[in-house]
């Protein structure tokens, strides 16, 4: 049996702010259980729903030194869907109403968490062969493994992987602060390790120290070697290219399944969508106070409303798109106030055709995926993107910009060959995007047969974890053969 430990700052079903949680919570279920024992360790957030918190089993506690601090570490456990989850407890750090907040304090919290996760292992009696970390919050783990934990026999020969879900977030602060929070010596704060210009950078350290680095799509793995997508680390990404690869994300096909999903009003599958799917649209139109019209082309957005997601392109063409009265736009998202208010304004202006739902709701997201005809995701950059995979699964045709994982998972419609699962555009340009939306709308209104075939192909595309879990298994096996 090979032991693998996922270390991450969020995981479904316990706590989620984005796709990271979906990946961390679903991927472990899809490994071959006869060969791999994959467990997960995350913080025990006070903001986790109570029905989980009350089921946690207390294991033990100890005190740990980090920098000049001496801190309480509690450990809890819960087996969920056959996967063992461990939770690191320290209420001073993980209290509060959400997982992330002030960055400087987050740096302290996740330095603590990274060290505590490693320190907890002998106590809980689980010795991973590979520690698999995710994003900047746990990027210190590979560094600590080669620093303070190197001596002990327990940790010797343990290997590390860092998966980059988003290179934009790196965990950066001035060197003195990072040094004080992490307790790492001067040795680590040179330009080939944790330093970028005058600052300390946790993600950079993790990339430099992990035995292997992955990211969440093949295209993004290439893009981040270029200055545009490299977020100042493209040189390091190129330097590590022999130990860097992209493995595209999957989604949990048990959770995202229109045939069994209790969150949607009318269930359907690849055979019945022609007769059933539109009923969800009508139900959503009624629920949101939109014009009730089963034939109207409805386009959905479920997204963090930030610059990454291309929301400025949408803002630019909203008037042009909505004033023609042949499209409905349903938005579900939260983010920067400017984008939230932009959608509220268009909701006010085009009440019967635009619905802005500025909140976070898992239930509502499923309804939007199931109800819409098309799904808009014009990201500036997208390491993988899960929303377009969810849309495909529900037969909702993605309209995407050809970048990162969007390019790898949505195949543009080709009317001559009768291929493709979506519509795409290449340049970060609002009217190029509008052109793709208009093309989708044209096919929807004027060639329903072709549209339905697009839906057939979208629903047949397989982005379950089956293939990608196999790729991670191969990677683990290869690393353990070194
Ligand atoms: P990212 O992780 O960059 O935000 P992904 O596409 O990988 O983008 O994952 C986004 C995840 O968050 C999806 O599961 C999506 O359904 C969900 N999501 C985003 N915004 C909301 C929201 N307002 N309500 C419910 N789910 C949301
Ligand atoms: C990040 C990326 C997103 C990716 C997700 C899960 O949040 O922005 O593209 O799908 O992580 O890997």
Ligand 2: centre distance to CA 307 (Å): 14
* Token pair in block for residue 113: 């968490």
pLDDT value for 243: 98
pLDDT, tens digit (0-9, with 9 covering 90-100), for 191-229 = 999 999 999 999 999 999 999 999 999 999 999 999 999
pLDDT value for 152: 79
CB 390 less than 6 A from any atom of ligand 2: no
Ligand 1: centre distance to CA 47 (Å): 18
Sign of the CA dihedral 21, 365, 216, 201? negative
- Looking only at the bridges linking them, the beta strands covering 83-89 and 69-80 are antiparallel
Counting Cα atoms < 13 Å in the Cβ hemisphere of 10 gives: 18
List of the chain residues with pLDDT < 70: none
Indicate the SS3 state at residue 455.
helix
What angle (nearest 5°) sits at the alpha carbon of residue 314, between those of residues 312 and 317?
110
pLDDT value for 150: 84
Q: What residue spans of 256-334 are helical by DSSP H? A: 273-288, 311-322
Measuring CA to CA, which residue among 52, 40, 55 is closest to residue 15?
A: 52
CB 179 less than 6 A from any atom of ligand 1: no
CB 334 less than 6 A from any atom of ligand 1: yes
CB 378 less than 6 A from any atom of ligand 2: no
CB 158 within 8 A of CB 128: yes
**70 CB-contact burial (10 Å; exposed 0-12 / middle 13-18 / buried 19+):** exposed
Taking each helix axis from N to C end, the angle separating 311-322 and 430-446, rounded to the nearest 10 degrees, works out to 50
Which residues have C-beta within 8 Å of that of residue 185, sequence separation ≥ 6?
none
CB 85 within 8 A of CB 29: no
Ligand that lies nearest to the alpha carbon of residue 134, given by its number in the listed order? 2
Rounded to whole angstroms, the maximal C-alpha distance in the chain is: 69
* Nearest protein Cα to ligand 2, atom 10: 385
What are residue 313's phi and psi, to 5 degrees?
Answer: -65, -40
Ligand that lies nearest to the alpha carbon of residue 375, given by its number in the listed order? 1
pLDDT value for 44: 98
Q: How far apart are CA 159 and CA 141, in angstroms?
A: 11
Query: Residue 201: which H helix or E strand, with range?
Result: strand 199-201
CB 246 less than 6 A from any atom of ligand 2: no
Measuring CA to CA, which residue among 387, 405, 400 is closest to residue 428?
A: 400
CA distances for 313 relative to 293, 301, 371, 429, angstroms: 27, 13, 23, 7
CB 366 less than 6 A from any atom of ligand 2: no
* Nearest protein Cα to ligand 1, atom 2: 19
Ligand 1: centre distance to CA 428 (Å): 21
Ligand 2 closest atom vs CA 379: 9
What are residue 431's phi and psi, to 5 degrees?
Answer: -80, -25
Ligand 1 closest atom vs CA 20: 2
pLDDT, tens digit (0-9, with 9 covering 90-100), for 150-181 = 877 899 999 999 999 999 999 999 999 999 99
What are residue 424's phi and psi, to 5 degrees?
Answer: -145, 160
Ligand 2 closest atom vs CA 22: 6
Q: Kindly calculate the radius of gyration of the chain based on its CA atoms and give it in whole angstroms.
A: 23
CB 361 less than 6 A from any atom of ligand 1: yes
Indicate the SS3 state at residue 189.
coil
pLDDT value for 453: 98
- Looking only at the bridges linking them, the beta strands covering 327-335 and 297-305 are parallel
* Token pair in block for residue 99: 């997982």
* Nearest protein Cα to ligand 2, atom 12: 165
């Amino acid at each position: 049996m090979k032991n693998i430990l996922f270390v991450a700052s969020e995981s479904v079903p316990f706590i989620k702010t984005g796709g990271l949680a979906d990946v961390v919570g679903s991927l472990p279920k899809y490994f071959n259980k006869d060969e791999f024992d994959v467990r997960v360790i995350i913080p025990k957030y006070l903001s986790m729903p109570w029905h989980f918190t009350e089921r946690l089993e207390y294991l033990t506690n100890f005190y740990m030194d980090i920098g000049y601090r001496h801190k309480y570490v509690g450990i809890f456990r819960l087996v969920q869907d056959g996967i063992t989850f461990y939770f690191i407890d320290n209420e001073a750090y993980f209290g509060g109403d959400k997982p992330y907040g002030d960055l400087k304090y987050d740096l302290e919290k996740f330095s603590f968490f990274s060290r505590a996760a490693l320190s907890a292992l002998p106590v809980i009696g689980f010795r991973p062969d590979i520690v698999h970390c995710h994003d900047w919050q746990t990027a210190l783990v590979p560094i600590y493994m080669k620093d303070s934990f190197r001596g002990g026999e327990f940790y010797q020969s343990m290997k590390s992987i860092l998966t980059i879900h988003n290179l934009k977030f790196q965990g950066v602060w001035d060197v003195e602060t990072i040094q004080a929070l992490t307790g790492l010596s001067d040795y680590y704060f040179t330009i080939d390790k944790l330093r970028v210009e005058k600052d300390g950078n946790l993600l950079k350290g993790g990339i430099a120290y992990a035995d292997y680095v992955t990211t969440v799509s093949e295209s993004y793995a290439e893009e981040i070697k270029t200055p545009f997508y490299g977020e100042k680390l493209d040189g390091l990404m190129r330097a590590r290219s022999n130990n860097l690869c992209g493995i595209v994300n999957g989604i949990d096909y048990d959770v995202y399944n229109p045939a069994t999903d209790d969150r949607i009003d009318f269930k359907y599958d690849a055979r019945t969508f022609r007769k059933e799917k539109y009923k969800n649209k009508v139900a959503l139109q009624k629920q949101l106070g939109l014009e009730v019209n089963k034939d109207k082309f409805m386009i959905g957005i479920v997204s963090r409303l930030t610059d990454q997601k291309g929301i400025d392109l949408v803002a630019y063409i909203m008037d042009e798109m909505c004033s023609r009265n042949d499209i409905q736009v349903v938005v579900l998202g939260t983010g920067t106030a400017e984008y939230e208010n932009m959608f509220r304004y268009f909701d006010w202006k085009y009440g019967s055709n635009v619905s802005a739902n500025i909140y976070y709701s898992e239930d509502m997201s499923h309804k939007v995926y199931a109800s819409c005809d098309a799904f808009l995701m014009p990201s500036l950059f997208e390491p993988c993107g899960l929303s377009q995979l969810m849309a495909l699964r529900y037969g909702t045709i993605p309209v995407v910009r050809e970048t990162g994982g969007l390019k790898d998972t949505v195949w543009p419609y080709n009317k001559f060959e009768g291929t493709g699962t979506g519509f795409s555009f290449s340049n970060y340009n609002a009217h190029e995007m509008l052109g793709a939306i208009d093309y989708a709308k044209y096919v929807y209104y004027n060639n329903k047969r072709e549209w339905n075939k697009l839906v057939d192909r979208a629903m047949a595309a397989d982005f379950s974890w089956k293939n990608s879990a196999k790729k991670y298994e191969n990677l683990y096996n290869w690393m353990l053969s070194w």
